[in-house]
Every structure is written in structure tokens, then in C-alpha cells.
Structure 1
């Protein structure tokens, strides 16, 4: 772990959830068995985007919302690298929304960690694209009128091949999700609920309090029934009339209807339905874990194969010769 720490002073507010995520990532990185010079962290703008300074790897603190675009170019041109993107709910889902969804649909070999604190922290507490409806902030003193994004739903809708959610304070769960994400070929989107104790403190307290979390958090595990609550008394079933998912108290009469989680299902329909299960305001019945993990062709690999085919058929081009050449064109006016 110490090999991945830098000599830079960590500049986050005391108590920020980013510290927990940083420690988990630094502790997990040695598992990859990848040399530090072959790992790159690319970030945009925001509190979380200071991350590359604190990882003793290569990195780039780029510009607002463009981290997926920059990382795409890097991953596509250097398939030997392990490329990670660190972004926030504001950076990724406002100005960066277009770049994010296209990275997801292309299935570039990127691991995107989206820190979601449901607020703009760096710019001092304005509402963000994930803030709940009616949120009172400095920029919305009468309450936000915007319906919030659900990052997991957005990623599944954009055809992401790996989508997961975890919580900053649950190091064991966070590390396990990172472990699965790291070994997935293609684009990964991991939403991390992260507490901003200055501008949105306690936003995820329901999911962190040990007693309350038993009834509020649904832990998804591939191949296992979706059950939760004290002594697993609650479960998720599909309503036979509407086809929608709902939470029920498990009884001998409905136990066989409890959904078995299939993260590798070809259709994203059930994963999407699970992403809509939580109450958007209270976060009651929030699933965490890997929603979807499916194999799809990886953009970088397809691009390399296409370039190799072009070179075989037409020969390797010489950009320098082209730029320095004497050929000219006349465009008729």
C-alpha cells in the first residue's frame, strides 16, 4: 500500500469520504500485479479529481467533464496500460455527461469511479445533477426543481458492460467491487456514495448506520437470492401482474418467487429495474454491489484490429511525410 502513496499533502476537508476511497484504492492496487508506471489515473474537476496527486502512478488532472474523453484516447492508443477515471457527480453528469455516456456505449477499456455526494463540494455547496428534488442549497434557496440523475440507471441505459454501486465507508464491500471491476474487460462504472461532511453531511446515513442499513441496504450477489433485512426476512420479487420489482416480507408461500440475481444476464432489463428500486429521496431499499457484468467487444481491441487490417491491405501510413509533402489541392470557389 505504501508504494502507492505520494509525498503530496492530501487536501480534502477533515472527515471527507474521499479519504476512505483513497485508502481502499491504495490498499487494493498491489493486488493487480501491475507496475506503477503502467497505471494511470485521469480526473476532471472537483474535490474527487485531486485523486491523481495522491496515487504514486502516472496521472492527469484534466479539465471539467473531459476525463472520459482523455482517458479514451490514452486507453485506445496504449492498450498495455491500466487506465482509471476518477470523477464526481457534478463533473461526470453535468458538463461531462456527453463524454461519459459515449465512453460507456463504446466499451473502452476504462475503469470509471464516480464519487457521488449529491452536492457540488469544491464550489461550496450548490445542488448537483444527483441532488434530490426540492434540495435547498445556496443555488436553490427555494428548493431544486431538477429531477436527479440515477447514475446506475444512466449507465445501464447507455449499454455499459459493468455497472456497480458501493459506499465509501464499507471498505470490504468497496474493495470487492473494485476487485471485480479491475478484471472486467471494457468500460466499468462504479458509483461510490461518498459523504461530504461540510455541505451535505449525512446524505447516506441510512445506508451507513449498522442497524438501519439492515432494512435499507440490499446487497446484490450474482447467483444468490435478493434477500435482506434482519435474518433475511425481506426479499425482492417480480409482480406477476405488472412485471415490476417490489419488496416483500418473505413467507413460505412466496419464497420461491424471490429474485435470484443474475449480473450476467444478456438483457439489462432486470438490472435496470433493480436500479429503480430505491426511494430517490430516502434511499430506502438501495441495492449495492454489481448490477451488471457482461462480455461485449472492447473498443480498443476492435480499433487495433481494424488498424492492423488497414495496414496489411494498404501499407503503413507516414504522417510526417504527409505533412512535409509537396502535394497541394485546389478547391474551386
Structure 2
């Protein structure tokens, strides 16, 4: 990478975050709150202790998964709005396997996790098939299937797996993704092996799309399906495969949450939100694995650390939401920052 390009690849995000923090401070001042106290509470909430840092990593984990799920579909020319529903299917399947079976941990953990992944993949295959065979737009089908997944999961929890407080019973300890040495390292936080699996998925994402023939076909179909078909590639097969891989990753996100954090699945009155946040993470990360990891870190850290802004600095949730949105807005608007830097450089050169 040329020195100038490398320098600006670091400078632009730094300027974007700085602008976001400045404008966030302005909103806090307008609300009558001290921005220094607010940001101090934010950073203490993220890095104040090993426990908080571990909880921040826990918050980041599902966002890496869902960001990768959305990005995989994007990279292959599809818009998977159904990551939310695939997340729910993955959660439910993983919990069922975790409850019904009682096996040695080295069999039970991978079995429950893979069950969640496969449930997400099969749920995503439905809009993939409809798109491939009948040209039904995936945005409509995936969005509607989110609510089908939510209502179906609620029904089965209520009728087949009901326990106290409208949730399933706890999974067997042998199905848990909790790893005591890792949790102890972060002062008994709820961090689990899902963070390692998420990073592994990011590497696999890169390898499959850019280092395999299958990945080349998927990207070719997404870029120009007519040219891909002319070259002898099966457009229908690759559309279904792309959606299934995207759903597989989304199902992994759901499995990781229930097996690593909660140990059960509760009835939800609304969608959990990880899938929709994953869209923002994928876009902010430019649909690249490393970019998605950094975007997930930003989203997850702000989401977890902001809780302390209310507790320690007394800032209401509405202003906190505005501050977070402004910071993310400026990070997302890096092209505008790049334009400002280039404009400044041109004026300096003209002045010479």
C-alpha cells in the first residue's frame, strides 16, 4: 500500500470518530449534561474493569456473526433482511438440542451449535428457492419470514418447551459454550467461546469468497447473473447456496447467544434486533471481514458502554441514543471526510 494511502486509511476513521465525539458532546451540552462526564462514563463502561471488557466482547460477538451473514449475501448480489429470523431459528434449534440430548460435552457442544447453524441455513433456503425459481424478491420474503420465525418459536416455547417465566428450561451444562478459563480471565464475565468462533468465521468468509472456485462463482452470479449463466454457471444453484451460507452464519449467531450467554430461550414480544444491526455493521465494514470486525467492535462497545452513561452520569437514554447515532453517522460518512481532506490538499497545492 502506498504511504499516502496507508496514512489516510488510518487518518480518515480517526477524524470521523473525532467529529462524531464532538457533535455528540454538543448534543449533551444542549441537553444540559456534561459531555466530559458522559464520555468518561462511556469509556469506564467499556474498559473500566476486566469484567466490563469481557462483557463488551460478549456484546460484539453476535454482531460479528450477523454482520458477516448480511455481508455474504451482499457480496453475492442478494439483500438478506431475514438474518433476524434466521438468528431466531438458530437459537431455537440449538436450545432444543441442548435440552433434549444429554451427551458428553465434546459431542453435545458441536452438535447443538451445528443444529443452530443448519436451522438458520434451512430457513434462509426458503427465500433463496423462491428467488431462484420464481424471481420472488428476497427482501419481501426474508422480511416476512422474520415474523413467522418469531411467532413459531414463541408457539413452540409456550406449548412444547414451556417452563417458568415463558421460557424454555435450561440447556444441559454439556451443551454450553462457556469456558471457565476464558470467563475467569475476564473476571467471571459472560464472554464465551463464541468470540473465537466468530473470528474463525470471518477468516472462512474471506477464504471461501476470494480463494475458492465456489466463491468466485457466487461473486460472479451476484455481479452479473446473465454473464455468469453464459459462462456455464448455475445461477439458481448459486442463489440458493448463497442464501443458505448467509443463513448458516446467522444461525451461528443465535446458537452462540443461547448456548454461551443465556442457556435458555425466552418468548419475545419483538425481534431481538441483532439482524438489523448486522445490516449496519456490514455496510459500515464495507462488506469485508476485517471491516465487519471493526464495525462490530464500534457498535458493541457503544451499546454496552452507553449503559454506564445513564448509571454514572445520569444522561437519559434518548440523548445517549442520539450521541451513539451521531458517532456512527460520522464513521459511516467517511467518504465525506475523504472529500474534505482532498479539498484541503488541493487548496494547499494551489496556494503554493
Query: If the TM-score is normalised by the length of the shorter chain, which range does it land in?
Result: under 0.3
Which structure is richer in relative contact order (CA contacts within 8 A, separation 6 or more)?
2
Q: What is the TM-score when the length of structure 1 is the normalising length?
A: 0.24
Structure whose residues are more often helix by fraction:
2
Q: Which has the higher strand share?
A: 1
